[in-house]
Structure formats: C-alpha cells, structure tokens
Amino acid sequence: MTISATSEPFGTVNGGQPVQLVTLHDKDTGVTVKLTNYGATIVSFSTPDSLGLLGDVVLGYDKPIGYESDTCYFGPVVGRVANRINQGKFTIDGAVRQVTVNRPPHHLHGGAKGFSKKVWEVVKVDPKGAVCFGLTSADGDEGYPGTLLVDVTYILGKPAAGEFANSGFKPLNTLSIVYHASSIDSATPINLTNHSYFNLSAGAQHNIHGHHLHVNADSITAVTSELIPTGEIKPVKDTPFDLTEGPLGVNLGERFKATEMNGFDHNFVLNGFDKANNNKFGAPLRTAARLSDPGSGRALEVKTTSPGIQVYTGNFLSSVPGRNGAVYGKHGAVALETQHFPDSVNHANFPSTVCNAFENWDNVTSLTVGVLNK
C-alpha cells in the first residue's frame, strides 16, 4: 500500500489536555491530510497543482491554541446540529427544548462548546490510511436531549478507475468522511458536517474570485435577513444562485457581483435526494459540487449522501491570522458544508434530522482532489 497513517503529539488544549495530530499520506501522489482529535478537525490538506507542486488548500492554524480560540470553524466537525436553529428552540417528543443561543438570537453549529470545541477520543489509527475519532455527547449537552454516541472516520483512498470520466479533471485521491451516531436514551436532532474552507490556489491568491464552482442543485432553501429558513424551497433558475452551468461551473468573482450580500451563505437543495435513504447506512453518494482554480489547475469534487450543501464564501472573514503567517480576509476561501437543511427540526417539509432512541444516524461525504484536464 502506498497510503499510510501515522500519529504524533500536537500539543495541549484546555490548560494541559494533550491532543494528537494524525497524518494520512499517499506517497504516489503526495496528497497529505493532517487531522487532530480536537474537534475531529482537518488541519491541513496538501495536494499537487498542475505542475506537481504541493500546496495546502484549506485554512487553519499552526497550533492547537488557534483552534481553541477559533470562531470561524476552520476544519472541525460541527454538531450536534450544524448551521442555524431559529431562536435555539424546537419541539421533540412533545417537549419544547431550548439549546444554547451562541449567535443571538439563534443557535449556530452546536452551541458555545459544540463538537468543534471538544477533545475526541482517537479510537483507531489504521496504518493503511484511516483514523476514527469518537465522542460521547451527554444528555443536556448545550441543551440537547439524549445521550449521543458519535464517531467520525476519515479515510484516504484512491478513486475508482473511470469514476470521474466526465468531471473535467484527473482525480488523485479521495478523502472519505464517514459519520455514525446513535442515541441511547431519547430522540434528538443530529446534523453533522465538516467545516473546512478551501482555497485551491494554496495561498497564491488571497481570495477565491478566480475559482469556479458548480453545484448540483436546482433549488435553495429561502431565508430571512438573519439566514433562517422560511420553509420555502426556491428555484435557482434565472437567479445568481444558479450554479449548475457546465461540469466546472461559474466564475465566483463575477457571480458575487450579482448577489445581494456579495457572496453566498446559503443552503442548496441537492438534486436526486431520496428521502427513503435519509441518514441510512449504504445510501448512495451523489455529486454535490465541483470547485476548481484555473490558475493552479487544482480541482475538488464533493459527493455526499446528505440532502443539502451550505456554500459559504467567507463573506465575514476579516484579518484572521492563520497558518504560516497568513492573514485570511473576505472571500479568502469557500466552505462546502454537506448537511441537512438549516433549522430542519422546525420544518416538517424538510428531510428529518431527528434520530430516535436506539436508532442509528449515518452519513458519508467524499472529497476528491485532482488536477484540471489540459
């Protein structure tokens, strides 16, 4: 096998609690992914450009202290419920629940100390290229009902031959993210995602205005001015949110100019979702998005079993000090958050995020990196 996994110390958090850094590496392609069990976070993701030069395509920090103080969610697993819950309230099993309001007046990404701010157990490092992180979220954690057992496995592998024949790029490696959760005592909402931000120029460009993005979605969930869904599923045709053009999509810089907020922070309703497979083990992966950077020649394809993808183009990033002396600003990268729809627990017409007691919740996302066809 050319793909390996190794683990080493990564310093401490919470005043002295040690955390690990796990490296997944393919010696054939050079693709390297570094992860830490603090937040089950993708710390770095290095992949070659069209000339074979490696570059880190995700935003992040040099040391654990950066992730402790992070408010931008650079690379962690967010939950118990990713994205927003209106007023931090919902009703489940006939009882009204109030979860932490950490972005007043709403709940965001699991609360003040959600999954992104917890030290996960390193359950297993597979020397063939995988790592499993585990977490127990107690009943009442950030206000959520029920005790939840969670594990997230990252697997670095090689794409199947011919799998990306019509994608417009040559695939090199796929990082699969396998989510599994089970509630052991009561029903609870779950919506897990990884919140990595991608800039495929690997820092050569300070923004993503030259990137192209395709999203396999004919609709979005309409939102209020506070980005809370109204419940309406709104077609994107003839709007700036139509990102369905061609295999490699639209130029982001040009499209930003046509949007009211000069960027995106919206949930796209992915085509082809089957409610019968909602959160079930073995559900089929569907293409969600393709991101590419003509300048570097790098490309990324996202596939998922989730019904939606939040496209957030770093509209609110402002002078954030990052890795290797970098400073991240507005439109510095794009987060492609495969997920259930925001505030789903309060909208019966959205695919359900509720995991009942003694049931399992399963989800998979894959990130395939490569280089554009010449």
| Residues acting as catalytic residues | 195, 337
Q: Is 201 annotated as a binding residue?
A: no
Q: Is 312 annotated as a binding residue?
A: no
- Show Cβ contacts of residue 132 under 8 Å, excluding neighbours closer than 6 positions: 122, 123, 124, 126, 151, 152, 153
Strands 148-157 and 107-108: unpaired
Task: State residue 252 phi and psi, 5-degree precision.
Answer: -70, -40
Q: Is 103 annotated as a binding residue?
A: no
Q: Is 196 annotated as a binding residue?
A: yes
Residues 133, 5: Cα–Cα separation, whole Å: 14
Residues 372, 370: Cα–Cα separation, whole Å: 7
Q: Is 195 annotated as a binding residue?
A: yes
Nearest in space to 76 (alpha carbons), one of 37, 30, 112, 21: 37
With 0-12 / 13-18 / 19 or more C-beta atoms within 10 angstroms meaning exposed / middle / buried, residue 104 is exposed
Nearest in space to 48 (alpha carbons), one of 64, 67, 35, 29: 29
Residues 242, 244: Cα–Cα separation, whole Å: 6
Q: Is 139 annotated as a binding residue?
A: no
Question: What sign does the CA torsion over 74, 75, 81, 85 have?
Answer: positive
Instruction: Show binding-site residues for beta-D-galactose.
Output: 83-84, 195-197, 265
Instruction: Show binding-site residues.
Output: 83-84, 195-197, 265
